[in-house]
A and B are shown apart, each in its own frame.
Chain A
Amino acid sequence: MMDKFLKLLEDNATLTPEQLAVMCKKEVGDIKKMIEQYEKDGVILGYKTMIDWDKTDREYVTALIEVKITPQRDRGFDRVAERIYNFPEVQNLYLMSGGYDLAVLIEGKTMKEVAYFVAQKLATIEDVISTATHFVLRKYKDKGVIYGVVDVDERGNCGQ
């Protein structure tokens, strides 16, 4: 039940407690309490809107940066990770297995801005051994949502 409820909210955060209550066969009060508890426990961290910025005038670029670092004796990768994720430009940060340590997804207004961020802010952090920057050319899918496709009901009035 718990997982299904969270999945339902993850797929559509606009559902009201009243709608959720009917759909999940629960009392409205219980739903509100559940959400509150999830928020308190940090299971639900926030509510955002999926926006295809490519359809707006906004100028931006996204880059995926592979970062190799030297882990610190006591805190492993966490201290460096913290220094990186605190930059508002950083959208996503993952510790990876394989050929590099951290995958940093950053957003900037221009390629120049991203290059500046990598050179001046990321590469200069002590413990960062190397970086490799890959610019995103096009976003096809993010968080399960396909970009560039508008959901149209094409079923028409066919069948019985």
Chain B
Amino acid sequence: MIDYTSVLSKTVTGLKKSGIRKFFDLLNDESMKDVVGLTVGQPDFVTPWHIREAGIESLQKGKTYYSPNAGFTQLQFEISAYLKRRFDLSYRPEETVVTVGGSEAIDLAIRAIVEPGDEVIVPTPSFVCYDPIVRMCGGVPVILETKMENNFKITPEELKAAITDKTKMLVLPYPNNPTGAIMTREELEALAPLLRDTNIVVLSDEIYAEMTYDGEHCSIASLDGMWERTVLASGFSKAYAMTGWRLGYLAAPAPLVEQMLKIHQYAIMCAPTTSQFAAIEALKNGDDDIRTMVEEYDRRRRYIYEGLKRIGIDCFEPKGAFYIFPDIRKFGLSSEEFCNRLLYEHRCAIVPGTAFGDSGEGFARISYAYSVKHITEALSRIEAFVKTL
């Protein structure tokens, strides 16, 4: 008889199950078929046809082989051109690595840099993967709780207080999932002096960069003296509605790329070839698709923000991504109670803010990657629920 508890890594068994996964498991039950959910963290658009067709064509032509480890040179070239065109970032093609989703880019950056005992500043509420990956490397996540009164941005004071001589990395997850917060150039400039003369590397997760409303996205790597200490992680999932293709990339200075590429080479070999051919088409001819989708998200963003305000729920107006993070503290329920009661009593699903860190208590994440009709129905259920509180 094998004793699995002694077989398994204590580091892994010690990881908490993702809070969002727990909630999603509830929803996947047969009895939840009538639930109107605003939970999904992926676009409701289908990958634009010309991009799908490029993938199909590559299969028809039998292009089913491995690509070079870092990705096809043409794709690296297109990524480099895209980053310049859209965000004025200067990366040579060889300073990019094509990864399996933005998630792998995050994983590579943390694994290449963090050693046991190193501290990594993780702002929360945020995407659920940073903390466990840091722990798997033996690192120590230092949670920086962003606040609604600061529009969920990192302030210089908060950053200063979180930095110690053990700090190895700062995770910068903007535009932010789940809050919808962004950081402007001025706000990033205010953080930069705390980082410039240090050996702290910034892991800038910019997967939602294209979903920036009322202004342009600014990457911290575009600030003076920050390029050399930044790993930019991004991908195709959100901008081009390509979640299932599992394709992302990182961009970083050559000495970092060289080491991250080693991990990628041993663990993954290369990102899926079909997806890479589709991505080349996306980057070459997909700017208009992004614009069309972002305009539609923007309209829904205004609609849901006004809708929540109208029914008396306080909200920070999201400026990025496709989530809104209403403040439910005044109803006197915990996030989990609120979401569970909304689910069971009014058949509407939204995600408890605590799924994104303890600082999400008192909030809930609502995705507006849904049709207006769907959002309208969900809002009416939320309204009916809060009237009972």
Contacts and interface: CB of A to CB of B under 8 A. Distances in A.
Nearest to B101: A159
A21 to B, nearest CB: 9
Q: Which of B27, B42, B127, B376 has the most CB of A within 10 A?
A: B42
A15 B303 CA distance: 12
B372 A155 contact: no
Interface residues of B, number: 28
Contacts of A14: 373
Closest 6 CB pairs of A and B: A23-B299, A157-B24, A22-B306, A157-B27, A159-B41, A155-B40
B302 A157 contact: no
Nearest to A20: B299
Interface residues of A, number: 17
B372 A160 contact: no
Contact of B302 (A23, A153, A156): A23
B239 to A, nearest CB: 15
Given A12-B372, A158-B24, A160-B129, A24 B41 contact: no
B18 interface: yes
A159 B40 contact: yes
A25 B42 CA distance: 25
Contacts of B128: 160
A159 B302 contact: no
A24 B302 CA distance: 8
Contacts of B27: 157
A155 B44 contact: yes
Contacts of B41: 159-160
Interface of A: 4, 8, 12, 14-15, 19, 22-25, 153, 155-160
Nearest to A12: B372
A4 B295 contact: yes
A160 B303 contact: no
Contacts of A15: 372
A160 B127 contact: yes
Contacts of B306: 22
A70 B133 CA distance: 77
B275 interface: no
B303 A22 contact: yes
Given A157-B40, A160-B129, A8 B24 contact: no
B176 interface: no
A7 B243 CA distance: 27
A66 B130 CA distance: 64
Nearest to A8: B299
Contacts of B299: 8, 23-24
26 contacts: A8-B299, A14-B373, A19-B303, A19-B372, A19-B376, A22-B302, A22-B307, A23-B300, A23-B303, A23-B372, A153-B370, A155-B44, A156-B28, A156-B40, A157-B28, A157-B40, A158-B24, A158-B40, A158-B42, A159-B40, A159-B41, A159-B42, A160-B20, A160-B127, A160-B129, A160-B177
Contacts of B243: 159
Interface in B372-387: 372-374, 376
A103 B97 CA distance: 53
Interface in B110-130: 127-129
Contacts of B376: 19
